[in-house]
Structure 1
Amino acid sequence: MKKALPLLMALAAAPALAHTGESGHLHGFVDGVLHPLTGPDHLAAMLAVGVWSALALKHPLRAPLAFAGSLLAGALLAMATGWQLPAIEAGITVSLAVLGLLVALRLAMPPAAGAATAAVLAFSHGAAHGLELSGAAALAGMVLSTAVLHGTGLALGWQLRQAPVLARALLGASVAALAVARLSGVA
């Protein structure tokens, strides 16, 4: 935990490069894999889903799977139609605030509610990234990277189960702080 928290905070401080607004500029598998790692919003959301699931949910794999499925659905819709979800950036910002609170409060939910919450929070991320992806290889790379980040978050969350409440609260607060940074134009 002592080594993971500074790493997460450093990653959260990276410049926001994930949403350029340029349609279809990511080509190929490697671009898809790297894309979720280039912006703190996607990185923090993916890790937070895993952490929250490990900390609070009875069936910890359901929420990450639902998140990844909804992310994929949003991306496919955006890629196929070019449709930009209204208030897409606001949806991403809200998802960060909610995920941060879920981690900080270690909020437990019934399995279906946890999965549904994750799915709702994921759709705007998928739609935003889907506009930037070009082709199935880039999409596959993004989904794989998302799954790896969820797994990393799960592992971190399992380690945090025995950590002091303050550690979990600070981690959740750092995710929610990204939402505030996005609102203020910093991230």
Structure 2
Amino acid sequence: MRASLRLSALPLAFLASVLVAPGLAQAHILQGAAGGFGSGFEHPLSGADHFLAMFAVGLWGAQMGGRSVWTLPVTFPLIMVLGGVLGISGFLLPGIEIGIALSLVGLGLAVACAWKPPEWAALALISVFAICHGYAHGAELPSAADPADYAIGFVLATGLIHLLGIGVGLALHRPFHGRIARALGFLITLGGGYFLASA
């Protein structure tokens, strides 16, 4: 029983370390020129705001169950690409950093409350957030040494973070463990509040 409790606490400790690690609490825009595939793959893993949002999408999909386990994590990067196109084109979309912070608050609350809306409503919500995340990173692509490779690396890393969230969510699906998943959602919400105050 004690071993089970220790294993259940691992996701909570991991997420807490992401929230408090000072090296991860960085601005969304990269310093200096972005590179190719490696830089694109690394960026979602090194930016706490993006990482937590991607993790929350997978966690929420697993929490909702049914088709949402895969429809939410698949829809997010697809819509994120559209946001990226807007960023590359130079289309002016104000308040992006606030939108990214609100994505953490919204997704975190959805998980914390174990909210199970109709699938279309969940997809609409994450699509709005995906536009914000995609736009922020699309604005970086023109300065990349290899924008196509950067985008491929970025989307691949995003998908892996989604899978991590799904895996943690499914592992915590039992009634008692469901409370741990909700606690993770609460921590993500707190992270969103931090980024919102910093925006």
TM-score, with length taken from structure 2: 0.85
Instruction: Confirm whether residue 166 of structure 1 aligns to residue 175 of structure 2.
Output: no
TM-score, with length taken from structure 1: 0.90
Deviation per residue, 1:13-54 (Å, 9 max, x gap): 2332251366x8322001000001111110000000000000
The residue that corresponds to 2:192 in the other structure is: 179
Of residues 3, 9, 14, the one that matches 1:7 is 14
Of residues 55, 71, 94, the one that matches 2:102 is 94
Matches of 1:107 and 1:73, distance apart in 2: 27
Residue 77 of structure 1: how far off its partner (Å): 2.1
* Bigger-Rg structure (1/2): 2
Instruction: Confirm whether residue 31 of structure 1 aligns to residue 39 of structure 2.
Output: yes
Q: How many residues align?
A: 184
Instruction: Confirm whether residue 154 of structure 1 aligns to residue 161 of structure 2.
Output: no
Matches of 2:43 and 2:136, distance apart in 1: 12
Of residues 45, 58, 61, the one that matches 2:53 is 45
CA 73–12 in structure 1, closer or farther in 2 if over 3 Å, else same: same
The 5-angstrom pairing of residues 48-67 of structure 1 reads 48-59=56-67, 60-67=69-76
The 8 Å contact of residues 62 and 169 in structure 2, kept in 1 or not, is answered as: yes
The 8 Å contact of residues 58 and 111 in structure 1, kept in 2 or not, is answered as: no
Matches of 1:141 and 1:130, distance apart in 2: 13
Matches of 2:131 and 2:112, distance apart in 1: 22
CA 58–66 in structure 1, closer or farther in 2 if over 3 Å, else same: same
2:139 partner SS: helix
Root mean square deviation of aligned Cα: 1.8
Instruction: Confirm whether residue 17 of structure 1 aligns to residue 26 of structure 2.
Output: yes
The 8 Å contact of residues 84 and 128 in structure 1, kept in 2 or not, is answered as: no
